[in-house]
Chain A
Amino acid sequence: MRHVLFVAFRMLLHRKRQTLVSILGVSMGVSAFVVMSSLMLGFQNYFIQQVIDLEPHIRIKPRTENAESSPYVLLLGEKMEEKDRILGWQEVIESLEAHPEVLGVAPRLVSKGILKYGVRDKPVTLLGIDPQREPKASIVEKFLKNRNLQRLETNRTGVILGVLVAKSLGIEQTGKKLLLVAPNGQTLLVTVEDFFDSGITNLDDSRVYLNIKTLQSLLEKQGEVNEIIVKIRDVNRAERLSRLFQEGIAYEVESWQKAYKNFLSIFKIQNTITYMIVFAILTVSAFGIFNIIMMTVLEKKKDIAILMAMGFTRNDVLLVFMTEGLVVGTLGAVLGSVVGFGLQEYLESIKLDVEGLIRTQGFVLDRDTLLYVYAFFFSLFFSLLASLYPSYRASRLNPVDIFRSQ
């Protein structure tokens, strides 16, 4: 093996510039992979984590879409109201609470509404919650500025505003009074008790929490509930459990995965695109390696012939060139990891207000070391793959043909 390394390293060192270019090519692929993956996964994991924290793991709601298309709705017009509430919700909650995988269940009344403050108004989603039960089924309190959901219990006309709702109304402090207009035209003067800041733009820009009893009386729907939220032990089992629950419940049971299906499939597309880009970069760098080794092989036929004459086996020759590819791949992976790490540090250090699907004070990165392991694995795999053919060609050269042709 010593003779193989001796020759391989000398050949690489002899063409420093080409070797360096190939190494840079690989390192670009590796650092692109590390940085792009960590940005993308960081964002996605953050988003999913927020969703899991904020949204019910499983939600039970009336089948609104069915109600609109059902012929019975047309026939029994007045009864349509029954389609947007959950009858026997207490029993549903009790049966769900009995399930060992369920951590908590809470009822909600959800409605549209408009908030008026001075001359401004803002359409919002009203979430009527039971302040006692809600914390069992969601961790909404974590996202409250003052972390006090119980204010909705003590002050029945208290509301909690999403930070972007407050911003668009021009409200900066608690204690402000504003007018809530329900879809049925009823109004109520409410007081701002707290702010809700999740970082997910569309939630912060639409949510208003208030006591379920307040909303029920405002909408004249005493005792009514139109949503039940369920918190479970293992969020990954939400889809399976929702299908299980569905069998015993007449209303629609929806997991968070299903509710966020669109986002999750966008993430899938996003991942695919990113990995295609990285794959393209790695392919280009693999061609770099292929190129340098193929060139060496073609230029060094004479040298290969004499090595074989002096006793190098075909296998030795194969290994010489494979080693060259492996060395380029390894050095490229090391350099790329260092550059990728540096870029991660840099991206994490910069502060900027990102406002899109989510709002953060900078880039959210997934700094999983496994990414480096993958990058290493990929670059080694690609460089071996790229050097395989030229190395094979080199090992199949016939020294006699080469000596003759001189």
Chain B
Amino acid sequence: MNLLELRGVRKSIGQEEILKGIDLLVKRGEFVAVVGASGSGKSSMLYIMGLLDKPTYGEVFFEGDRVDFSKEKKLSELRNRRIGFVFQFHYLLPEFTLLENVMLPAVKLGVRREQAKERAYELLKSLGLAGKEHRRIYQISGGEMQRVAIARALINNPSLLLADEPTGNLDSRNTYVVMEIFKEINRGGTTILMVTHEPHLALQAHRVVEVRDGLILSDHPTQRA
């Protein structure tokens, strides 16, 4: 079953065409790695898949429906319920505790506060952050921040987790932890699309898509597939 499909997606910024016709199909439950040189268009592609940016040409299908990029409210709702984001930078809000940061998407969704809290506790615990729920971001390490960001991305049980170089700022130990978490989440049924520069991380996915100059150069399953 298809979760996400890009059909002939092009993206121009000003005169420059960053994506030059991307066709990509992501099935439910897949773990896709996107690789490519810096500036090849990986992030641009991810923003479109995350419904944060709209293609100049082409179509996007999400969970079988064609996405209408003019419906801002609907896009927000899909992002809130169905998509989780993890970036290289954690983007945690300094005003909130770790627990509250994790709760935010659930609060937006309208989940009862107690229920959101419970789920956030659970997630933080499963990511090895038990006992640190009430800390602020300046009271934890970079690896921990990234795990909080992952918990936040997961709180509404999204069907798709988009990660743009999630380990870019982490040492090998924390990179390992994050990759294990991703594999675990993926085993739980969440589809993951991860942009990475590191071949050995890409090989841990089911499939590696290589982007060059705004086009898909290659698309191969790995041995884990």
Contacts and interface: CB of A to CB of B under 8 A. Distances in A.
B95 A309 contact: no
Contacts, number: 72
B177 interface: no
Interface in B46-97: 47, 50, 52-53, 72-73, 76-77, 79-81, 85, 87-89, 91, 93-96
Interface stretch (A18-26, A124-132, A299-307, A341-349): A299-307
Contacts of B166: none
A120 interface: no
A308 to B, nearest CB: 7
A88 interface: no
A311 B81 contact: yes
A240 interface: no
Contacts of A406: 87-89
Contact of B104 (A3, A11, A302, A403): A3
Interface stretch (B23-31, B107-115, B196-204): B107-115
Interface string B146-185: 0000001000000000001000000000000000000000
B36 interface: no
Contact of A311 (B80, B96, B100): B80
Interface in A299-331: 302-303, 305-316
Contact of A310 (B43, B89, B105, B113): B105
Contacts of A314: 72
A399 interface: yes
A259 interface: no
Interface residues of A, number: 27
A12 B131 CA distance: 27
B11 to A, nearest CB: 10
Contact of B76 (A2, A311, A403): A311
A6 B72 CA distance: 22
Given A311-B76, A406-B88, A3 B93 contact: no
A309 B79 contact: yes
A309 B110 contact: no
Contacts of A310: 79-80, 85, 104-105, 108, 152
Contacts of A306: 85, 91, 93
Query: What does DSSP make chain A's interface, helix, strand, loop or mixed?
Result: helix
Contacts of B104: 3, 6-7, 307, 310
Nearest to B153: A310
Contacts of B107: 2-3, 6
Contacts of B76: 308, 311-313, 316
A400 B94 contact: no
Contacts of A269: none
Contacts of B77: 311
A6 B99 CA distance: 13
A13 interface: yes
A114 to B, nearest CB: 80
Interface in A149-204: none
B3 to A, nearest CB: 18
B91 A305 contact: yes
A361 to B, nearest CB: 54
A14 interface: yes
A305 B53 CA distance: 12
B105 A403 contact: no
A10 interface: yes
A373 B95 CA distance: 34
A313 B50 contact: no
Contacts of A3: 104, 107-108
A13 B93 contact: no
A351 interface: no
Contacts of B89: 302, 406
A17 interface: no
A309 B85 contact: yes
Nearest to B149: A306
26 contacts: A2-B113, A3-B104, A3-B107, A3-B108, A7-B104, A10-B93, A10-B96, A13-B95, A14-B95, A302-B91, A305-B91, A306-B91, A308-B52, A309-B85, A309-B91, A310-B79, A310-B80, A311-B79, A312-B76, A315-B73, A399-B52, A400-B47, A400-B52, A403-B43, A403-B87, A406-B89
Closest 4 A-B residue pairs measured CB to CB? A311-B80, A306-B91, A10-B95, A14-B95
Given A2-B107, A13-B95, A400-B52, 10 more contacts: A6-B107, A10-B100, A309-B50, A309-B79, A310-B105, A311-B80, A311-B108, A313-B73, A316-B108, A403-B43
Interface of A: 2-3, 6-7, 10-11, 13-14, 302-303, 305-316, 399-400, 403-404, 406
